[in-house]
Structure 1
Amino acid sequence: MKRDKDALTLTRRIGVFGGTFDPIHIGHLVAAQNAMHAAALDQVLFVVANQPWQKEGTREVTDPKLRLLVVSQVLRTIPGLEPSDIEIQRGGLSYSIDTLNELRASHPNDELFLVVGADAASQMPTWERAEELSTLARLVIVNRYGYPTISSILDFDQPILAEMPWLDISSTDLRERVRDHRPLQFLLPETAIEAIELYQLYRNRENG
């Protein structure tokens, strides 16, 4: 955090980490923590997608308010990581460009950092109005150990690279584990496991 001498306000470095989080798992938390360290972020917002456009028509997605509830319960005791319902409040399909524009308007004195995994970074040229993203935020790419390093994308100036351990965890596999009554311990935070049990998520339908 730094002080803006002209505005006499504290400028925060805010990471914007979007996702379906269906469900949130250890890999998400490790990615956020490594991004926070690499980019010296004051805060990382876990932006829960309302309707993720990439998954439109591919599978049934859990109600966004339930996904947000689980994310909120998981993050409540982790300093610096905060849930965000900005895309849920906006409604409709969720696009990063709309979220960054809205956050820029509400945080005019702060620096925004778009946090993406290397797999998502490689797909960024296909995103809605992708050419505008670099005008709103700096890019933080979280590279997984053992995967090729992506060091540049679109028009972003010197993306910040954060490397995380190789954790082969996927939300698809976790949903299948719930349906098959297989172990979830150490793959999900205990609070997420408790919430999945409490709300009976992923039990009786195919999630892809």
Structure 2
Amino acid sequence: MPESVRRGASGPSAPIVTPHGSAASDPDEPVRIGVFGGTFDPPHHGHLAIALEVGHRLRLDRVLWVVANDPWQKSGRVPVTPASVRLALVAEAVDGFAGHEVCDLEVRRGGPSYTADTLEELTRLHPGAALFLVVGSDAAEGLDTWKRADDVRALATTVVVDRGGRQGGRPPLGWPHLVVDVPALEISSSDIRSRFGDGRPVEALVQPRVVAAVRARGLYGCGR
């Protein structure tokens, strides 16, 4: 079985397991903040599995669900639900999970959402905190193409998520990173949107509070 947390190729070759529990109990330890960004259109159980597992394995004191205002990877190509609505959906998704918070930094900033800008702002807001940037293995391969990639690498520890023990992509050579394996939940937001529109069941894929919020707002073609 693979270790749940291990360093990437730039770190020690031996796998490591991070102890569980909160780092905040040690006053000499910096606050550990996970930065979990996404479009969240809508948030679903797959997102929650990642956020909970990474938070647990890395002893994170807080996990910020950073809602993208205008995701540059999708801008102009894929219709995206208004950011204010997605913020509300994420607030429903994280309700009741201690340490998990919706973050509106990118929405308040406006314009295209770039991770380097967000990490820079979080560094100013939380001086001395240790930031952990959570990315999927598919996105990890292209980290060097991100705006101000050197700042992204410097401002936070990159955490690459593998699913169900299957190794995915990795950051470019020389990019330090951790790898966390999470339960494999094959869920996509696009499929969920289609299900809402077609009237197919979504309850096994999305939290009840999010389902209720989507239906109350008539999102994704509900009620057509």
TM-score (ref. length: structure 1): 0.90
Structure 2 equivalent of residue 3 of structure 1: 27
Q: Does 1:44 align with 2:44?
A: no
The unaligned stretches of length 5 or more in structure 2 are 1-23
Structure 2 equivalent of residue 162 of structure 1: 180
Task: Find the aligned partners of 1:124 and 1:99 in 2 and give their Cα distance.
Answer: 15
Q: Does 1:187 align with 2:211?
A: no
Greater shift, 171-180 or 125-134, is seen at 125-134
SS in 2 for 1:163: strand
Q: Does 1:77 align with 2:96?
A: yes
Task: Find the aligned partners of 1:154 and 1:18 in 2 and give their Cα distance.
Answer: 23
Task: Find the aligned partners of 1:95 and 1:83 in 2 and give their Cα distance.
Answer: 17
Structure 1 equivalent of residue 72 of structure 2: 53
Q: Does 1:173 align with 2:197?
A: no
Task: Find the aligned partners of 1:146 and 1:36 in 2 and give their Cα distance.
Answer: 18
Residue identity over aligned pairs, in percent, reads 44
CA contact 2:133–2:158 (8 Å) conserved in 1: yes
Structure 2 equivalent of residue 137 of structure 1: 156
Task: Find the aligned partners of 2:143 and 2:200 in 1 and give their Cα distance.
Answer: 34
Q: Could you tell me how far 1:11 is from its partner in structure 2? A: 2.5
The unaligned stretches of length 5 or more in structure 1 are 5-9
Q: Which amino acid aligns with 2:104?
A: D
Q: Could you tell me how far 1:150 is from its partner in structure 2? A: 4.4
CA contact 1:17–1:32 (8 Å) conserved in 2: yes
Task: Find the aligned partners of 1:38 and 1:151 in 2 and give their Cα distance.
Answer: 19
Task: Find the aligned partners of 2:35 and 2:154 in 1 and give their Cα distance.
Answer: 15
CA contact 1:125–1:154 (8 Å) conserved in 2: no
Q: Which amino acid aligns with 1:53?
A: W
| Residues 49-79 of structure 1: CA deviation (Å, up to 9, x unaligned) | 0000000111210000000001001212111
Runs of 4+ in 1 over 3 A off after TM superposition: 149-156
Task: Find the aligned partners of 2:170 and 2:144 in 1 and give their Cα distance.
Answer: 15
Check 1:181–1:45 CA distance in 2 against 1; reply closer, same or farther (3 A cut): same
Q: Which amino acid aligns with 1:165?
A: P
Structure 2 equivalent of residue 123 of structure 1: 142
Q: Which amino acid aligns with 2:182?
A: M
SS in 2 for 1:82: strand
| Residues 143-191 of structure 1: CA deviation (Å, up to 9, x unaligned) | 112532445546443x221111221100010011111110001100111
Q: Could you tell me how far 1:130 is from its partner in structure 2? A: 1.1
User: What count of residue pairs does the alignment treat as equivalent?
Assistant: 198
Q: Does 1:105 align with 2:129?
A: no
Task: Find the aligned partners of 1:46 and 1:191 in 2 and give their Cα distance.
Answer: 17
SS in 2 for 1:47: strand
Task: Find the aligned partners of 1:77 and 1:124 in 2 and give their Cα distance.
Answer: 32
TM-score (ref. length: structure 2): 0.84
Task: Find the aligned partners of 2:55 and 2:137 in 1 and give their Cα distance.
Answer: 16
